[in-house]
Every structure is written in structure tokens, then in C-alpha cells.
Amino acid sequence: MFSALRRIYHSLPVIRELKHISREQQYALDKVADLERLKRKLQIDKYRRQLLSQERYENPRKLNRYEAQVFSQNGEDGIIAEIFSRIGVQSKSFLEIGVEAGLENNSVFLLFQDWLSVAFHGYALFCMWAGTHVVEA
């Protein structure tokens, strides 16, 4: 009986129309979110172009031109990536000393790029979660 009532309910024109309106509304909300993301990207691109046009960033060999913050405090993630793009990578391993909580330092971004590390000092739970080897001092 319940399934028969459900079929009748879903076949009602007003219910079908409400479902259609709901789908259209969700579609519109998704499009607004897409436009907001695009707007944000365009704003970032505009800011980056303005920033790179400054004298400080004109020379493409200067590392500060490549500052980008993912997990680092001051844009070191982008600088480290640029250094390795210039010199190449032979071994994806590193030693981190003084990792604190391990969430905001110069090497976390490397962990998420499948690097191996040995970390001294800090919270073992995070370091083990990130796939690293931990040595407690």
C-alpha cells in the first residue's frame, strides 16, 4: 500500500513540477558556484600579474617570484618546488628537524608528493599519517 501511495504522490503534477524546479535551482546554484570560482581565479591571476610586474619580481631567476603557500608559512612551498625544477630530484627523501605539529612547515608539501622523511621532534601521529618515519629526540 505504501508503494502505491508513493507512486501516486510522485505522479502528481505539482510534485513533478516541484522536483523540476528543485533540479533547475540546483543547476543554477552549481553554475553560480562555478562563476564564483572563475571570478576568484581571475582575481588571483590579475593580482599575480600586477605583483610580477613589480621590479622586485621582474627577473625570472629570482626565487621570490615563485613564492606559493600550500603548507608553508611564507611561500616556501613554491620556492622549494622551483629549486627542484631547476636542479632536478635524485632522491625523494629529506630530514626535518623541529616539525612542531607538522602542519605548517617547509616540507609538508613534499610529503604529499610522495617524498620520504625522517622527522625529529613533533607529533608522531601526524608524521605517521603523512607516511613518514619518525625518530623522537
As averages over each run of 10 residues, the pLDDT of the chain (137 residues) reads: 83 89 92 91 85 79 86 87 93 78 75 81 52 52
SS3 (DSSP) at 48: helix
Which one, of 127, 75, 76, 80, lies nearest residue 101 by Cα?
127
Residue found under cell 581565479 = 41
SS3 (DSSP) at 122: coil
Tell me, what's the pLDDT at 117?
80
Contact (CB, 8 A) for 65 and 59: yes
What is the domain partition of the chain in residue ranges?
1-53
Tell me, what's the pLDDT at 79?
92
